[in-house]
Amino acid sequence: MSKKIAIGADHAGFPYKEPIKEWLTNNGYEVTDYGTNSAESADYPDFAHPVASAVENGEFEMGVLLCGSGQGVCITANKHQGIRAALVWEPVLAELTRQHNNANIICLPVRFIELDKALECVEKFLNTEFEGGRHQTRVGKIAC
C-alpha cells in the first residue's frame, strides 16, 4: 500500500484534519495537505476536487476527506473518473469499502463521529486490501 496520502477538509472537517495528519505522519505516511487551514467558513469542493484529482492522476493511491456530514466531499470526489470515495463512520465500513469496492478515498462525517473512531476508520481503510475476484467485475462496471 502507498505511504503517500492526500488529505483535505472544509471548515467543519478542519478540527479532525490536523490530528489525522499527525496520526498518519507518526505511522510512516507522507501527507500532502490540500487545506483548509482554519475553521473559517470554506467551500468543501475547493478541497475535495484537488484531493480527488491528485488520487485520480496517480500522484497518491489514497485520500482522506472530511466535512461536517462527509456527504459533500464524497459527492464531489465521486465526480472524478477512477475515484471511489466512500462515506465511512464505522471501522467495519472502512474495511468493507476497501475489500468490496476498492475505495480510494475515505470521507469522514466529523459532526457525527468521535475522533478516536475516525482514526480507527482511517487505519482500517489504509490497511485493508481489495479482495478482487467477483468484486473486481463489479468495480469494473462503475465507470461511465
Q: Is 135 known to be catalytic?
A: no
Catalytic residue among 49, 67, 80, 107: 67
Torsions phi, psi for 121 (to 5 deg) = -65, -45
Q: What is the pLDDT of residue 1?
A: 47
Q: Is 100 known to be catalytic?
A: yes
Per residue in 77-100, pLDDT tens?
999 999 999 999 999 999 999 999
Which distant-in-sequence residues (6+ apart) come within 8 Å of 133 by Cβ? none
Per residue in 106-142, pLDDT tens?
999 999 999 999 999 999 999 999 888 889 888 888 8
The answer to whether 111 and 79 have CB atoms below 8 angstroms apart is no
Q: Is the pLDDT of residue 2 over 90?
A: no
Catalytic residue among 49, 74, 80, 100: 100
pLDDT category of residue 144 using cuts at 50, 70 and 90: confident
Q: List the one residue out of 101, 107, 87, 106 whose CA is nearest residue 131.
A: 101
Q: What is the pLDDT of residue 143?
A: 82
84 against 144, higher pLDDT: 84
44's grid cell: 468543501
Q: Where are the beta strands (DSSP E) in the chain?
A: 4-9, 30-33, 62-67, 85-87, 105-109
Q: What is the pLDDT of residue 67?
A: 98
Architecture of the domain delimited by 4-139: 3-Layer(aba) Sandwich (3.40)
Per residue in 7-48, pLDDT tens?
999 999 999 999 999 999 999 999 999 999 999 999 999 999
